[in-house]
Structure 1
Amino acid sequence: MYLDTKRRTKNSKLFTHFYKKSSIYIICVAVLFIAVGFLTTVSPAYRVSSNTITDWTGDLDSSLFLYLMGMENKAFRDALPEDEPSPEVSNMLFEMATNIRPSDTRSLLGQELPGFLTFQNEIIVAGEGTDYTNLPVESSPPLEEVLRDRDAVIDENEGEDLEQQEGESQQDTGERDVVFIYNTHNRESFLPHLPDADSPDDAQHGEVNIGKVSQRFADALEANGIGTEVDQTDIMSVLKEQGMAYHESYQASRNVVQEAFTSSEDIQYSFDLHRDAIARDKTTKEINGKNYARVMFVVGAEYADHDKNLELANKLHQMIQEEYPGLSRGVIKKKGSGSNGVYNQDLSPNAMLIEFGGVDNTLEELYRSADAVAEVFSDHYWDAEKVNTN
């Protein structure tokens, strides 16, 4: 009797223990399924993202994923070239654990040496003198310094007069504005026009800034018959009003670009104009006895279909090289830490970011470049229109 009671008590305890553990397992599995369901159905804007995981998977060879899926489904192996060697799992695990690629020294030094993260960007087309030591730098000065009042000196007659194309053959977009120009870092200015500033971070002004180059660019496009809208929103003031930081500038300007594309079906191209912070000798080119502020095309690499934006940037670079050799510094792709990686270019395959000159260039030099780029782009635009018409 005693033994039976003891045995029943023991079995009861085992059953209770098993029941509790089973309940915990079932609850954990249920929570897991609910979490997975939530993450896969929630709107993309509210999904949890991780830059670390993005960097891990972004740096891995895409053939690795095909190989792993091919282990379960042989159909995926057909997508791999016949001579493609099997990926080394040990290298993959090492890369994911350390974020260091044995074949790329930059992945190690970029985390240890200040400024070396620039080398994770990719030069697609190198213009004259362009290498990894003189790529555009995304500085993040304190917002209060950007908004600080400074004296500026400017000659209102600076720059050559625009030549208006005339004749019966002059093409025109009519009342349609097909180009939209804006400035994310709208207060970027130029040291020759700021007598009290001597540092690139101090080259900021509320009126004498990259916005004047945007207006000149627009005027030059209009002179070539291309209707253009220029947005002069003070993005820096928007940041202050909304309690945002300088590195959130592209988030603030995104609203401006989205509104432009939404409000007008005519807009086909957008240009975000910036100025670089590197020295004058890298941003100036003498052509036919006149100094020009050099330009560089920047394409983000952290959004789908950026190859289309890259194709347009490459095309414009080549056309500039033909007409104004040395004016373009080239085309680069930017991604990863220290860069935005998107630059609002995901909103249109014809969205461009162009660095015009640097902190040491004058408005006269910048206006010449704006005229030159507008001339080249106009040729591209009208050639494309002929193709579309035919």
Structure 2
Amino acid sequence: MSRILMRIYRKILLVFAILICTTSLFVMAGLLSSSNISFFKFKVNGDIGAEVFLRIIGYENPLIGHALTGANMDFPIFSTGFQLLTNVEMKDIRSLIRSELPGFMAFDSNFIIAEDGVDFTDIPVESAPPMDVLLQERNMAAKELKELNNGKVYSGSSPSEKAVFIYHTHSWESYLPLLGMEGAENENEAVDGKTNITVVGELLGQELEKRGVGASVDKTNIGLMLDEKGWLTPRSYEISRSLVQKAMAGNQKLNYFIDLHRDSVRKDSTTTVINNQPYARIVLVIGEENKNFQKNLQFANELHKILNKQYPGISKGVLPKKGVGVDGIYNQDLNPNSLVVEVGGVDNNMKELKNTVEALAEAISQIYWKAEEVNG
């Protein structure tokens, strides 16, 4: 730890030294070019290194310079040069320590759409427990099982056509209260091969069918399949991809694909109260490296707006993910109406989950019926 602190200390000293030097330099440059202060700010998009290179060429070739002005992102030379020299982003304190702390890169994503008060500390975190832990099978705690069975059982007929496919890439993800471990300090204990996120998937399917939307719920034990193949948990998306492809081949009417997960952050971040009722909060995740990203984003944004209009604050927002350590595609290249939905966190109980599932089903059904009206 002392070695890490020393490296961070040295980086801070470097930051201050460069800050002093570059401030003096740009003050002088500002005085010399005060007649055209817009020189120091441009509108550009994309990777910083590439943008700087193109901008320099643009000074010599007016055509390139003109083409770069149509983008929608501020490009101040001072902060950009500072970032290139130090690898520190002036508006993001995470950049000061992201390379020094193991595992910190998991927080490098940012919500593209976020509710007030939501920041990078609310970013869902995926954990991978040992295989022998996630394969254990336990019964649901009596109190939570009673809550699960509390209420009217849907006795209506199921729609013959299935439009929504619900699955669980990390099927082992569970909730501490469901396992009789409410308040446990170690969030990684919230895993099980039997009592897990698939319970939420079943509930969502039932709630959708109450609203006339046919749903197919896949409860494959992904952990068991990984174990049989001798694969590690990062390859779970390969298995779930085959499940989605098989479902698509067997039913061309499927047009919505929901991969349910649960977050690893704790209760204060994953729980809210709406109209005196407790809810598990939702995060909508889209893979930024898939070809359907823009269409996925449109679907996620619409779902987010409907949810928060009817249940203010239930959706934290829409989170795009890419880069090292994440899948970046999440099978969403297979269909534009695909999402990873993080439903609550390790501390949420059955009451909170049931309330949220009803809200989610209502929002999805509204999107479905709106599309049906347009198509027919």
Letter in 1 for 2:151: D
Residues 102-135 of structure 1 show CA distances to partners (whole Å, capped at 9, x for unaligned) of 7755444211124532442011222253211122
User: What corresponds to 1:125 in structure 2?
Assistant: 113
User: What corresponds to 2:13 in structure 1?
Assistant: none
Residues 221, 378 of structure 1: 8 Å contact kept: yes
**What SS class does the counterpart of residue 174 from structure 2 fall into?**
coil
User: What corresponds to 2:97 in structure 1?
Assistant: 109
Residues 175, 347 of structure 2: 8 Å contact kept: yes
The structure that has the greater radius of gyration is 1
Which residues of structure 1 form unaligned runs of 5+?
1-57, 167-171
Letter in 2 for 1:158: E
User: What corresponds to 2:314 in structure 1?
Assistant: 327
Letter in 2 for 1:148: Q
Which residues of structure 2 form unaligned runs of 5+?
1-45
1:228 corresponds to 2:215? yes
Letter in 1 for 2:298: E
Q: What is the number of equivalent residue pairs in this alignment?
A: 327
Matched-pair identity in %: 40
1:193 corresponds to 2:166? no
Residues 325-358 of structure 1 show CA distances to partners (whole Å, capped at 9, x for unaligned) of 1211211112223322221112111001111111
User: What corresponds to 1:178 in structure 2?
Assistant: 163
1:158 corresponds to 2:147? yes
Q: TM-score, normalised by structure 2?
A: 0.75
- Partner residue of 1:290 out of 273, 277, 286: 277
For residues 342 and 311 of structure 1, the distance between their equivalents in structure 2, rounded to whole angstroms, comes to: 16
1:255 corresponds to 2:245? no
User: What corresponds to 2:40 in structure 1?
Assistant: none
Shift of 1:303: 2.1
Shift of 1:208: 1.3
For residues 76 and 177 of structure 2, the distance between their equivalents in structure 1, rounded to whole angstroms, comes to: 54
For residues 65 and 380 of structure 1, the distance between their equivalents in structure 2, rounded to whole angstroms, comes to: 44
Residues 166, 217 of structure 2: 8 Å contact kept: yes
User: What corresponds to 1:137 in structure 2?
Assistant: 125
**What SS class does the counterpart of residue 123 from structure 1 fall into?**
coil
Greater CA drift, 344-353 or 62-71: 62-71
**What SS class does the counterpart of residue 365 from structure 2 fall into?**
helix
For residues 235 and 266 of structure 1, the distance between their equivalents in structure 2, rounded to whole angstroms, comes to: 25
Greater CA drift, 205-214 or 77-86: 77-86
Shift of 1:162: 5.5
1:343 corresponds to 2:330? yes
**What SS class does the counterpart of residue 352 from structure 1 fall into?**
strand
1:386 corresponds to 2:367? no
For residues 268 and 254 of structure 1, the distance between their equivalents in structure 2, rounded to whole angstroms, comes to: 15
Residues 159, 209 of structure 2: 8 Å contact kept: no
Letter in 2 for 1:79: A
Residues 304, 346 of structure 1: 8 Å contact kept: yes
Residues 54-108 of structure 1 show CA distances to partners (whole Å, capped at 9, x for unaligned) of xxxx7446656866998999876663327999998xx79x85x986667755444
